[in-house]
Structure 1
Amino acid sequence: MQTLEPSTKAAPGFVSRLDGVLGAEMPINTDDVRWQLALRIAASGSLGRSGLLSDFLLYIVGCCIRGRTEDITEQRIGVTVFGRAEDYDPNDDNIVRSYARKLRKRIEEYFATEGREETLRLEIPRGGYTPIFSDVVPPSPRIDESAVSEEIEAQESETTKSIAPEKLEIVSAPVLGSSHHADGHFRISLGMIVALLAGLLIGAGITLLKHSRLMESRQEMLSHVLWSQLFSRNQDTFIVPSDDGLVIMQRLIPRPVPLTEYVNGTYRTPVKTDAESDTKEILKLGGRRFTSVVDLGFAVHLAELKEVIPERTMVRYAHDLRMDDLRAGNAILIGSDEANPWIELFRPQLHFRFRFDPDPDKPSGFVNLYPRRGEAALYTTKGQEEQTYGIIAYLPNLTNTGHVLIVAGLNTAGTEAAATFLLDPTSMMPTLQRARTADGNLQPFELLLGAGNVAANASTPTVVLERIGLPSGH
């Protein structure tokens, strides 16, 4: 089979993970300018470290150059690039459409930055996946606006110099509310006392206002440090809400879903139950795209943060997330392990781990792995349904090149408590101060939060436990 070698203009050492996948019966001409352009884009910083985006691009360009446009379909891309089963249903799994939107943005970014000198353009029209190539039309010459502006400013400067400045006359005025007698002594009147007191009050008010603004400024500064590390122009950030369809399925059929089964889809294979006729319908829930209103509201608030880089931020359904995303980018994972299996990857770095027991007689909750004096080993809602717990964990991504933020709860109210606390700069300030390093960055930290649970709604959250840094041994 043919190995798709990078052109000399591509980044050194870049090799597609789809080597030979298109077959050797129609070898590609590696000198084709379209193929060389695709290689440069695939190896560029605009695509980051996402192997899936590079594979996606090279697959559709390779098919286009070979004249095999019949293979550029959502079904074939899903099978070839994303490893889906031959009979998978794109209507239930929109991973190709999701990555296509992302790829279009990255290609636009490439031509706006690294590829601005390219003489050939590539685009993927919306509604399809077949790439289109076009030559760049040189811009028509235009007047140098900066030179014209400088000339105008020079003329205005000469005109201003010819005008003589007006003389200003300063006139002193008598002090109101005072009288000056012939003996040379001032007499202080009631008006002066009132004015003096008013001045003191105003001065005190200004001092308090400055202090208040200073506190607000420090809170905003620390909050900015956190969000600016999670939202970067150099990396993608994935906001991943909980998979509530998966939770419903697990409650109806007690079968824990490990991450490996969640990724390859085997968790939706039939199992023997007492109600065999209902099994298939129950398993369908695991593939439905359900999430909670709490997660949705949290994602909306995150999108409104001033630190967000829109072109680098995506809301990604949990089932569509890939390991590469957590290696190369930043992520905000919402929900418990039961609702967001990707959290399983970061369990070794957590001080407080979620434990779910399908047996209603056994308590589920957050396990305190390294309890200190006076701390409980398990924080559970069993026997105290009016109480709930959530965690906020700020950790490195899988390659220590980015950051992952876990916002999770024992239930919807627990997740709401954690999200509410996180979005409040005043609440977060003490922890962020302790987690800040000498170089101004943040080291990993973890919070266990408690809150009242009133009809599945969280009351004001408070810090129960705090940990700065990773567990020993990490």
Structure 2
Amino acid sequence: MVHSKSFSRASRLSAFLLYICERAIEGHTDEITEQQIGVRVFGRPAHYNPGDDNIVRGTARLLRQRLELYYQEEGAADELRITVPRGTYVPLFERATEVQEQPDAERSPLLEDAPREAPLARHTFSRLWTAVSLLAAFALGAAALLAYQHFTRSRNHPSSPAAVLWRTVFPGDKRTLIIAGDAGVDMFDNLARQQVNINEYSERAYLSSPFAQTPDDYHWAPLATRAYVSVQDLKLATALVRLPEVRNDQRVFIHYAREIRPEDLMDANAVLIGSPAFNPWVQLFDKDQDFTMSYDGVENSITVIDHHPAAGEKSSYKWIWNDPEHAYALIALTNNLNGTGKVLLVESTTTMPTGAASDLLLNPGPMEQILARATNPNGSLKRFEVLLETSLVGNSSTQPKVIAVHIHNN
């Protein structure tokens, strides 16, 4: 539906629809509230007051109208239909013949978004049984589709180490979040000459700093609050969703770092793009990494620290703003916060080396050899870290050189 003419250009409505349907299908209807939708879909802070900001209610009204239009035109032949009854944000899945208009009494604007009993509780037994049957058929069809996708993937890429990586990060049977960095917080870091830690970023505490305010005699929005993202991040995200192993996977979502909450990284798979100063969420995974990046605002430098240097490796590698000869990027595969999935980290000392890391990830060559070494006998991947060195020439980086590879057995 979100790729239809009715929704393809309505990104806000599509994001709303995907969020509520995904939570409903997974049984997390407790997360389909005005507060949660505001935070998860529209990037509102966790403490925002829905009474002062009606973005969820307004978008819900537009979504109901757009769904009606879709089923009148493009979706007229759809057997299974999605509705969002007034008074709730929990979607209802019904046969086309069972969709009925609500009584006029329930159309009162005063009741539009008031909490009420979920519509499912008012169904008759036969209607509930029909819904269960439909969902069972839907689940079987989805399982068959996933099986076919995995068969196709393994048939087309039976032994490619790169294919193993992408099937690990994008398994097809669970969510994978591609999270682009936040250039606004990076600008704040440069102004404040200090790195925002993950707690400050998660709670938006840094926005109360004087460095996050608009200068006197100016009327523009503070730089720290603006939704800026690196072009290199967008290029990598676009390339990832076009991979054969990822294309048409409806459980892959691209997010801006400021939209994410810690719980999003508990069980989902993820691709995090950016250094700790640019995408603070990578800081959550530093404790398990041999390589970490540290920003020095006074010197305007980033140091890659090797906590367990092997023979021939240095204990640290520094990038500084006036030295174009040495820039660094880091590619790492690690576990998500609950250990139930995988997270791919793509960090770099500036935005340009992100392009070099992307080239290594997406093209055969040295990365294939590294992945072959990191592959277990059963076909799964071990945790690994790859440190790259590259030189900056103008607005691009040169071919990266792999200077360290760490493969973990746990």
Q: TM-score over 0.5 for the alignment?
A: yes
The correspondence for 2:245, drawn from 301, 304, 307, is 307
| Structure 2 partner of 1:391 | 330
| Structure 1 partner of 2:95 | 136
Q: 1:373 Cα shift? A: 2.7
| Structure 2 partner of 1:427 | 366
Change (3 A) 1:327 1:426: same
| Structure 1 partner of 2:196 | 257
- For CA contacts below 8 A with separation 6 or more, give which structure has more relative contact order: 2
- Where do 1:70-219 residues align within 5 Å? 83-86=46-49, 122-124=82-84, 130=89, 136-137=95-96
The correspondence for 1:381, drawn from 319, 325, 330, is 319
SS in structure 1 opposite 2:225?
coil
Q: Which amino acid aligns with 2:47?
A: R
Q: 1:129 Cα shift? A: 7.4
| Structure 2 partner of 1:234 | 173
Structure 1, unpaired ranges of 5+: 1-40, 61-70, 105-116, 140-216
Larger Rg: 1
Q: Which amino acid aligns with 1:123?
A: T
Q: 1:65-105 CA deviation, whole Å, 9 max, x = no partner? A: xxxxxx99969x989x97332289869x99x979x99xx9x
| Structure 2 partner of 1:359 | 298
Structure 2 length as normaliser, TM-score? Answer: 0.66
SS in structure 2 opposite 1:55?
helix
The correspondence for 1:290, drawn from 225, 228, 247, is 228
Q: Is the aligned partner of 1:55 residue 2:30? A: yes
Q: Which amino acid aligns with 2:237?
A: A
Change (3 A) 1:317 1:42: closer
Change (3 A) 1:311 1:87: closer
Q: Which amino acid aligns with 1:232?
A: P
Within 2, Cα distance between the matches of 1:134 and 1:232? 26
Q: 1:95-143 CA deviation, whole Å, 9 max, x = no partner? A: x979x99xx9xxxxxxxxxxxx99xx65239xx975675752569xxxx
Whether the aligned pair in 1 keeps the contact of 2:193 and 2:296 (CA below 8 Å) is: no
Whether the aligned pair in 2 keeps the contact of 1:220 and 1:425 (CA below 8 Å) is: no
| Structure 2 partner of 1:318 | 257
Change (3 A) 1:223 1:72: closer
Within 1, Cα distance between the matches of 2:37 and 2:266? 28
Q: 1:183-207 CA deviation, whole Å, 9 max, x = no partner? A: xxxxxxxxxxxxxxxxxxxxxxxxx
| Structure 2 partner of 1:336 | 275
Within 2, Cα distance between the matches of 1:272 and 1:72? 29
SS in structure 2 opposite 1:364?
strand
| Structure 1 partner of 2:160 | 221
Q: Give the number of aligned pairs.
A: 315
Change (3 A) 1:405 1:279: farther
Change (3 A) 1:358 1:278: farther
Within 2, Cα distance between the matches of 1:234 and 1:274? 43
SS in structure 2 opposite 1:311?
coil
Q: Which amino acid aligns with 1:84?
A: H
Whether the aligned pair in 2 keeps the contact of 1:219 and 1:426 (CA below 8 Å) is: no
Q: 1:229 Cα shift? A: 1.0
Aligned CA-pair RMSD: 4.2
Change (3 A) 1:389 1:89: farther
Runs in 1 of length 4+ with deviation above 6 angstroms? 41-44, 87-91, 217-220, 272-276
Change (3 A) 1:279 1:323: farther
Within 2, Cα distance between the matches of 1:365 and 1:243? 20
Within 2, Cα distance between the matches of 1:454 and 1:356? 22
Q: 1:304 Cα shift? A: 0.3
Within 2, Cα distance between the matches of 1:256 and 1:408? 15
Q: Which amino acid aligns with 1:290?
A: Y
Whether the aligned pair in 2 keeps the contact of 1:407 and 1:415 (CA below 8 Å) is: yes
Q: Percent identity of the aligned residues?
A: 28
Structure 1 length as normaliser, TM-score? Answer: 0.58
Within 2, Cα distance between the matches of 1:444 and 1:370? 15
Change (3 A) 1:87 1:254: farther
Q: Which amino acid aligns with 2:255?
A: R
Within 2, Cα distance between the matches of 1:453 and 1:272? 29
Whether the aligned pair in 2 keeps the contact of 1:124 and 1:131 (CA below 8 Å) is: yes
Change (3 A) 1:231 1:129: farther
